[in-house]
Structure 1
């Protein structure tokens, strides 16, 4: 399969960018890595708490290519296409049209011969998600989504697991997706481990009743897995932080990393101004150059504060 041609673009859009282009953050074998590419070369760096980073961003922001069917590595965008500097998309339309992961999410792949797992993931009070992932990926998809806790629920071929997913979603027990902002707002307060396990256990039992008669293997004995401590959120998110809402050519992103939360990174600032929160999808497509001795600058920031606790005292009158 090849990436289809795009309409003709201006010469500067076709020029190959210099330096390393960020391909974002991913999880493999329980480990978070930041990736970057330069042509066919790929570089990955483990993300761990306490690591100091400093990057100068160079533009324009470019498409990072696509994962083609049967490929073991990402195929670079042959058009070197420029993408929206502030958008959530990290691929041009041509690469989106052939990306295997997007095709799967859009139900454009009916079956691929692999075994899939149905999962229930908990992102906070009232935020239960149902989804599927290839068994060979383990829990990488759950980690990338920032699931605070999850339980594998059923197993089978793609068509059967997809039908099971739709059945659970249609029942109202869980939804198929949540926006990133809704998830991050739950980081301040998420109960304790026994509570999360109880919620997931009850939900899985209900899902199994819904799936009675489906052509899937029901997984009643798989453990409830909790990621809150791994994400560094046992005490909740910072009381106050600034979320990065936009990046630009010439911006500097620097700081000391905290534990990654899904595809998000908290960076403590050396000037004591409080941590920044980066959705690494915004970083994807920018050319990165290492810098030292400089603070973060050129960023669009939004203040985030822990909401006040609800007033549960009964009114006197």
Structure 2
């Protein structure tokens, strides 16, 4: 409704589809081909940590991808799996290989109870499971296999965006994962703490809408007060929305930049008025281990 302002919670994945999340729990589905037009208003506020409101209602810089103030970010990190503060978590975890483009694969872990949501959240075009078991065993196995396979535990979002435009077909993606999976099974020791899982390639190319993306022209640098974003949704991967904008460009809006902004509906005909940076360079070689 025109004039209504909702506070954004960014882009998320649930039930196999992307959605625009809002403070208070509402979700608006992201539908490919449909228009997206909004104006940023009311400043950008900290979303708070672990489901709790920021106690001081802090402002957040426009270019921050975390969407949290420094104090809430520390609290959020302290209670994350990545911080290894829950070593006694009894739930099973899975180690995976995630494919983002030719020669660009990472290893990671996720809670088995989350299914493949974590892979969608980070924009993995394809992935396979390697093993399952307790958290600390999965953590150790992740490190062993990263070193043995020569793959990192992180891939920069700039690289992901560049490589997902015009990727090889699903068969080629699966073949690269299969080769690494076979090599991982040959690495000794980790099978004593985790259950090795057989190879199955899982592909998100169709789910993300990557079939025919045009060359990428740039990425949104930040939202600004009163700034307008307008276009049509071409694809969604991880937190990113790929937009075809009225002047013919293909731009990426990182949904993490939305978190904490008040968003009001704008008209499709309103001119684009938020800063845009250049397109990331596509490279297929991986950097060294992170």
Larger radius of gyration between Structure 1 and Structure 2: 1
CA contact (8 A) 1:124 1:186 kept: yes
Cα shift at 1:66: 1.7
Paired position in structure 2 for 1:252: 228
- Whether the 8 Å CA contact 1:56–1:250 is kept in 2: the answer is yes
CA shift in 2, pair 1:60/1:137, >3 Å? same
Aligned counterpart, 1:75: 52
Matched, 1:174 2:151: yes
Match of 2:26 in 1: 43
- Which of 203, 218, 237 is the equivalent residue of 2:196? 218
What is the rounded CA distance, in whole Å, between the counterparts of 2:261 and 2:37 in structure 1? 14
> Which residue number in structure 1 is paired with residue 109 of structure 2?
132
Q: 1:33 to 1:217 in 2, by over 3 A?
A: same
Question: For the aligned residues, what is the CA RMSD?
Answer: 2.2
- Work out the CA distance in 2 between the residues paired with 1:252 and 1:93: 27
Number of residue-to-residue matches in the alignment? 279
Structure 2: runs of 5 or more not aligned = 284-290
Equivalent residue for 1:284? 259
| 1:287 Cα deviation after fit | 0.9
- Counterpart of 2:96 in structure 1 is 119
Out of 85-94 and 99-108, give the one that drifted further: 99-108
Instruction: Summarize the Cα distance change of 1:112–1:53 in structure 2 as closer, same or farther, 3 Å threshold.
Output: same
- Per-residue deviation, 1:97: 2.4
Q: How does 1:1-317 map to 2 (within 5 A)?
A: 19-37=5-23, 41-67=24-50, 74-99=51-76, 103-212=80-189, 213-221=191-199, 223-235=200-212, 237-269=213-245, 271-304=246-279
SS at 1:81 equivalent:
coil
CA contact (8 A) 1:239 1:306 kept: no
Whether the 8 Å contact between 1:257 and 1:267 is mirrored in structure 2 is yes
The answer for the alignment partner of 1:71 in structure 2 is: none
Name the structure, 1 or 2, with higher relative contact order (CA <8 Å, separation 6+): 2
Distance 1:171 1:298 in 2: 47
Q: How far has the Cα of 1:53 moved from its partner?
A: 2.1
Structure 1, unaligned stretches of length 5 or more? 1-17, 68-73, 309-317
Q: What is the alpha-carbon distance in structure 1 between the residues aligned to residue 188 and residue 19 of structure 2? A: 36
Question: How many Å apart are 1:218 and its aligned residue?
Answer: 0.3
Deviation string, structure 1 residues 105-138 (Cα, Å, up to 9, x no partner)? 2323323221111100111122110001111111
TM-score, reference length from structure 2: 0.88
